[in-house]
Every structure is written in structure tokens, then in C-alpha cells.
Amino acid sequence: LYGDYESLTNGEAIDTLVDFTGGVAERINLIIIKDEKTRKVLFGKLKEDCENEALIICYIQVKPGDKRGKELPQGFVLGHGYSITAVKDILQGNTKLLMIKLANPWGKMEWNGPWSETSSEWQKMGPILEAELPISKDKGEFWMTFDDFLNHLTNVDICHIVKPSNEFILHSEWTGRSGGCDYKTQSFLSNRQFIIEIQQDEDELVVSLEQHDIKPSESHTERTLNTIGYSIMKVFNSNKIIDDFCCQARVTDNGGEESKSVKCDVFGKKKEKYTQKPGYIHVLVQSSHDLQFL
């Protein structure tokens, strides 16, 4: 996929998962998860994604000046990916515990805080509760509370596996008009458009955009990505007037995150998922950063 094993060094794990599975990538910034409501929504989402056999990675983002691979006091390795293998909520007396299980693929260097392998919390549990939180000792697996997870990890990458029975493929090409990425300009609507109608209230629209790597040199870390993306707008179809701007996503190499795929749900201005109402359709507009890019 990348040409040689050396090119995998310092690459994005989520890109590799997408290449191997054909799944849909999603990135979540844990730093912005602040209020209790958003935390509960995220916990439920991760639990559902685990049950749906998505591949989930979490890590601590490397900041400028930090050293990738540095072992932190709490046992985590900076910039290293950990698999999320289980998400559970259990009752301990009258207290509801939100728990998440991680695995270090190295098989060592684990979390050493509460609920770690040798912590005192395990001694307070009965055999029934202990059976609900199984763990393989000395294999890099460990449990931690969801609050500790949010306090120490910074990012989650999810690769959603698309079931063939739910998949429909339409082949096309990105050619022709290019009106730039600023949806406030008149030229924006000259970009190619796709009309999408969501017929059931419980249906969810997920859009993913991916591009192949362009490797001008032997090093995979010097790849160049075109700044392309898409926007989704909500339109009342009786008069074709844009009613609301839902979301915008970009694959970028110009100061953005080094990932070759992006994904967004249809969100409103309050970052809540839309409930589809009769008479509304969604318009997906593909765009490049610059005018006349194609």
C-alpha cells in the first residue's frame, strides 16, 4: 500500500486501518469534551462502536517540543496508539462505573493509576463484578475509568467497518468545475453537487472523503496532500433555498492534521445531530481550496 515497510514509519495508524479494511475514518478530539452531557454521549458512542466491531485507537497527541515515545509518569507513551477493546458501565453498590479497557500492542507499559492491574480498587470488588471486567494479565491490557480516560488521552481515531450488505457503490470522477471552498461566495455553488434525501427519522447520514497519498520522495513522512473537502447543506426542496449550513470537512496538508481521510456527521449549528424533517434534502458540495483547481 505504501510501497515498502520503511514508509510505514511515523504514519497515521488510522490511514493504515482504512487501507486494509476499506472502512470509514473518524477522528475525535477529546480535549474539547468538557460538559457532562457531551461526555455521556461520547461514552455511549464508543460503547456502540465497540459492539459494532469498529477498530478504535486512542493516544496522547505529541505537541511541538515534546519527544515522541517518551514514557509519562502515569504509564502512557507519548504519541503511541492504544486499542480500545471494551466499554462497559457496571454497578458497584449504588455507584455506576463507566469503564473503558485499553490494550498496548507492545504487551507492556500500562496505565498505573486507579483500576490498573495492581491497584487497590480490584480488592474491593466481589467476584461477580470482577467477572464483568475481565483482563489478560501481563499482556498490555488494562481498565480505567472514563473520567481518567478523558483526563489523560487527547485523541480517538475510529475505523468504522462497512458491512457489504449495507453498502452501495456508485463510481464517478471528480472533474470539471472548481469554485473554491468558501461557501459564502457566489462561485461556491458552481462546484459539483450531490443531492441526498434521508427518508426515515432514525437514519443517519455519514460522509467520508479520502485521497491517495502523493509521495514525491522516498520518505512517507514527506507526503503531500491536496487541500480538498466537502460541505453539506440542508435545503427545503420546494424552493431550493439553502436553509442551514450543516458541516464542512477538509483533507489538508497546509497546516492541518496529517490524515488523508475525513469524516463528518450531519450536525447543526448547536452541534446536535439533525432530525430529518419531511420536505428537506441535503446537498453535498465537493470543493478544493482554490478556484479553478481542477
Of residues 193, 178, 210, the one with CA closest to residue 289? 178
Take residue 225 and report the three cell numbers written for it: 496532500
Q: Which of 104, 160, 220, 282 is catalytic?
A: 104
* Helix, strand or coil, per DSSP, at residue 132: helix
The β-bridge relationship of strands 193-196 and 82-92 is unpaired
Quick check: 27 and 14 in contact, CB under 8 A? yes
Answer yes or no: 80 catalytic. yes
* Helix, strand or coil, per DSSP, at residue 218: coil
Quick check: 107 and 139 in contact, CB under 8 A? yes
H/E stretch holding 241 reads strand 241-251
Answer yes or no: 29 catalytic. no
Q: Which of 10, 29, 52, 80 is catalytic?
A: 80
CA distances from 16 to 21, 201, 260 (A): 9, 34, 10
Phi, psi angles (nearest 5°) of residue 121? -60, -35
Take residue 67 and report the three cell numbers written for it: 519527544
Q: Which residues pair with 159 in a beta bridge?
A: 25, 55
Phi, psi angles (nearest 5°) of residue 6? -60, -30
Return the active site residues: 80, 104
